[in-house]
Amino acid sequence: YGYDEVRTWYFEVWNEPNLSYFFTGTQDEYFKLYDYAARAVKSVDSRFRVGGPATSCNSWIPDMIRHCREENVPLDFISTHHYPTDDPLWRNGGISVEEFFKKIGGTLGSYERGVLRKMTEKAREEAGNLPLIYTEWNTSAMTRDSKHDESYASAMIAKTLADNDGLVQGYSYWTFTDIFEEGAQIPGAFHGGFGLQSYAGIAKPAYRLFQLFHGLGTKRIGVSSDRIGGTVEALAAETESGYRIIIYNHNIPDAPIGTENVRIDISAVPGKKSLSLYRIDDAHANAAAVWKQAGSPEYLKPADVEK
């Protein structure tokens, strides 16, 4: 790749060292591992970027910064992970893997609406002037959560991206595909996997939502509403060819949510107007719904994938 390319990369040390599933040592032992790794990276080129602690639940950020300052260890960015199902474990920062999986296995949906914004605000404050990068997040931390395949995911992703705009320097959704073997590959065309795509490469509603965001451009504009306290929100941006408005209706799992009528007033936009509508819901851009209508076959033929 060459030095110029590699200088644009972020070298993250380890993965979730606060969970014994991934790291059986102590926090101090992780810091020792980080020290060796960070100094090795910098020994190749001082402009290579290295950071951590790559923890689950927004953990260890103040401790990481304090250690690196006291020991004069390079730290170019803060990285961590979060999921809404981390709530309330993220509030204290120190958890065991047993606590973590007991929580997400038993009480999915108990978190409050918009909790990822609160997590990010706390991590942003703790990170100070360092870039903050989330290298994992999703609508839940469960690998068999059917909502990963449904339009619910697209609505929550839209809210999360809108809420966290400007708070982070990187926000990496976990993950690209259901080809995922951390705990063995799970069978089934749609099985609630983490991926934006099924193992056959079929785009889920979450993937389609990211497609819409990809066309937003970089200039966000304000949106106002005459209704307060509902589940419908919007984000708008100016693009090279006009404006794009993303409207989403989101609530936490098992909480009340209804069909809403939305009126968009763009009378302040000058000139002639044309409109294109893209919809993601239970009947549009929803491959899992089509699969269920076909009888939920475990294995798909090429013709099924093409649909």
Q: Give the residue numbers marked as catalytic.
A: 16, 136
Query: Token match 């929100």: residue?
Result: 233
Please say whether the beta carbons of 139 and 158 come within 8 A.
no
Query: Token match 């400007």: residue?
Result: 166
Hey, is 274 helix, strand or coil? coil
- Residue 175, preceding bond cis, omega within 30 degrees? yes
Strands annotated E in the chain? 10-12, 49-55, 77-82, 132-137, 170-171, 219-221, 232-238, 243-249
CB atoms within 10 A of CB 201: 11
* CA–CA dist 79, 238 (Å, integer): 30
CA 288 → CA 66, 150, 212, distances in Å?
47, 7, 19
Phi, psi of 250 (to 5 degrees): -130, 140
**Could you tell me which residues are beta bridge partners of residue 46?**
none
Structure-block tokens of residue 75? 């730290």
Q: Which residues of 219-254 are buried (b: 16+ CB within 10 A; e: fewer)?
A: eeeeeeeeeeeebbbebbbeeeeeebebebbbbbbe
